[in-house]
Amino acid sequence: MPALYVVATPLGNLGDITLRALEVLKRVDIIAAEDTRHSQRLLDACGVQTRLIALHEHNEQSAATEVIRRLGEGQSVAMITDAGTPAISDPGARAVARVREAGFRVVPVPGPSAAIAALSVAGFDQGGFLFVGFLPAKSGARRAAIEALRAQTPTLVMYESPHRIAESLADLAATLEPTREIVIARELTKLHEQVVRLTLGDALAWLQSDPNHARGEFVLLIEGAPAREGLDLETERVLSLLLAELPLKTAARLASEITRQPRNALYARALELKQG
């Protein structure tokens, strides 16, 4: 049966390629790769002779058309990106959607992903995580994005490049509580792998304490907001803002309409806040 195999590849250490990934890459008719020159080195090192075609963010639609054409001819196709799992902050999702729409099978061949590798060594025990991917490049949009995440209780998982790591750490510390814990995981599975856990308030100083700390690729894991009994942080924020401007009853009613939380609970909390 023709199928598109979505194949995870190593983040840095070639030994992390899975046996199944190798078998699939050898057996498919063609491999669609984000950067064919980069992936050719991986294939050469693994003894895979299958031919490559390009599938990257700038040609994803036309490459998807080509993949569908080949599937229609009965061929099988693998898709890989430069590192880790395709479609995770990487091209691939649009091609996958097109292939599925066209009625062909899409088969995951799981393996490395930087987010999961970082989570596995972070030691955060918050039950869940929220994958954010890359924060926006511009500071205003980045701060707004961080602000929107402030009340989230799961561990926040972000990707960052060496060009923007300093700005992002500064904005995270300025926008979230500086006492929150962050795990900075850099160069995972590579020679200079480093995983540190510290507070957001100390993160920028750590980065700047050694030029090597800012090199490589980063996953940032940030402790989620503490879970509160009763109202969540966003509801508390809305209620406090309204309470500062309006009579108690009106503030509780409006907060209830905005947040869709029960009016009684908001009224009771508003009373508590008013009484100090």
Where do we find the tokens 């799981």? 110
157 binds ligand SAM (CB under 6 A): no
CB of 264 to ligand SAM, least distance (A): 45
184 binds ligand SAM (CB under 6 A): no
Subset of residues 13 to 72 that bind ligand SAM, contact rule: CB under 6 A? none
99 binds ligand SAM (CB under 6 A): no
Point out which span in 71-79, 109-117, 174-182, 257-265 binds ligand SAM (CB under 6 A). Answer: 109-117
Contact residues for 7 (Cβ-Cβ < 8 A; gap 6+): 21, 24, 25, 78, 79, 80, 86, 109, 111
CB of 119 to ligand SAM, least distance (A): 11
Subset of residues 205 to 244 that bind ligand SAM, contact rule: CB under 6 A? 217-219
Give the residue with the Cβ less far from ligand SAM, 92 or 224: 92
Point out which span in 80-88, 95-103, 234-242, 263-271 binds ligand SAM (CB under 6 A). Answer: 80-88
119 binds ligand SAM (CB under 6 A): no
Total number of residues that touch ligand SAM (CB under 6 A)? 24
Where do we find the tokens 């561990």? 155
Q: Which of 16, 160, 171, 236 binds ligand SAM (CB under 6 A)?
A: 160
111 binds ligand SAM (CB under 6 A): no
- In this chain, which residue has its C-beta nearest to ligand SAM? 84
CB of 38 to ligand SAM, least distance (A): 12
CB of 257 to ligand SAM, least distance (A): 40
142 binds ligand SAM (CB under 6 A): no
CB of 267 to ligand SAM, least distance (A): 45
Bridge-based pairing state of the strands 52-54 and 77-80: unpaired
Tokens (6 digits) for 102:
């066209």
Q: Which of 77, 114, 176, 221 binds ligand SAM (CB under 6 A)?
A: 114
DSSP the chain: --EEEEE-B-SS-GGGS-HHHHHHHHHSSEEEESSHHHHHHHHHHHT----EEE--TTTHHHHHHHHHHHHHTT--EEEE-SSB-TTSSSTTHHHHHHHHHTT-EEEEE----HHHHHHHHH---SS-EEEEEEPPSSHHHHHHHHHHHTT--SEEEEEE-TTTHHHHHHHHHHHS-TTSEEEEEESTTSTT-EEEEEEHHHHHHHHHT-GGGGSS-EEEEEPPPPPPSSS-HHHHHHHHHHHHHS-HHHHHHHHHHHH---HHHHHHHHHHHHT-
Q: Which of 76, 113, 168, 261 binds ligand SAM (CB under 6 A)?
A: 113
- Angstrom distance (rounded) from CA 185 to CA 260: 38
167 binds ligand SAM (CB under 6 A): no
Q: Which of 94, 143, 164, 190 binds ligand SAM (CB under 6 A)?
A: 190
Q: By the criterion CB under 6 A, which residues form the site for ligand SAM?
A: 11-12, 81, 83-85, 88-90, 113-115, 159-161, 185-190, 217-219
